[in-house]
Amino acid sequence: MSFNAKDMTQGGQIANMRFRMFGQIANIIFYVLFILFWVLCGLMLMYRLSWQTFVNGCVYWWCTTLGPMRDIIRSQPVYTIQYYGQSLEYTSEQILADKYTIWCGEQLWTGFAFAAVVSLVICIVTFFIASWVLGRQGKQQSEDE
């Protein structure tokens, strides 16, 4: 079976054109929903966490991901942790053992998980509403012709 325009009937050409139009519209919808998801996640994290907790949680997760490479690094990096106006200099081992930075990391993780779930639900609802509206408009336009 060939999808060349010259090999298809007129109905096949119309169906092929409709599939391409659907693909273009679906691409735009998913692009907008992708951006909406990350914007909503960021806004919810800004609302739920203080800047200090967010930054210290990011440092904690950064040190967690670099944990296996600690033996390879010759000079251990020193990170600055803000603690209510004080600047504390910690190595990655100290960050991974400190109760405050662990708490910040847990707060960041739970905040992100909550924000991701809520954003995903909002994006799914938005997808179905947009699909319904665009489908209704397309049906009306095809009936008008």
User: At a CB cut-off of 8 Å and minimum separation 6, what does 61 contact?
Assistant: 105, 108, 109
For residue 90, pLDDT over 60 is answered with yes
pTM of the predicted protein model: 0.76
Residue 140: predicted pLDDT: 82
User: At a CB cut-off of 8 Å and minimum separation 6, what does 43 contact?
Assistant: none
Unique residue bearing structure tokens 């924000």: 115
Tell me the per-residue pLDDT of 113-131, one tens digit each, with 9 for 90 and over: 999 999 999 999 999 999 8
Question: What mean pLDDT comes out for the span 15-28?
Answer: 84
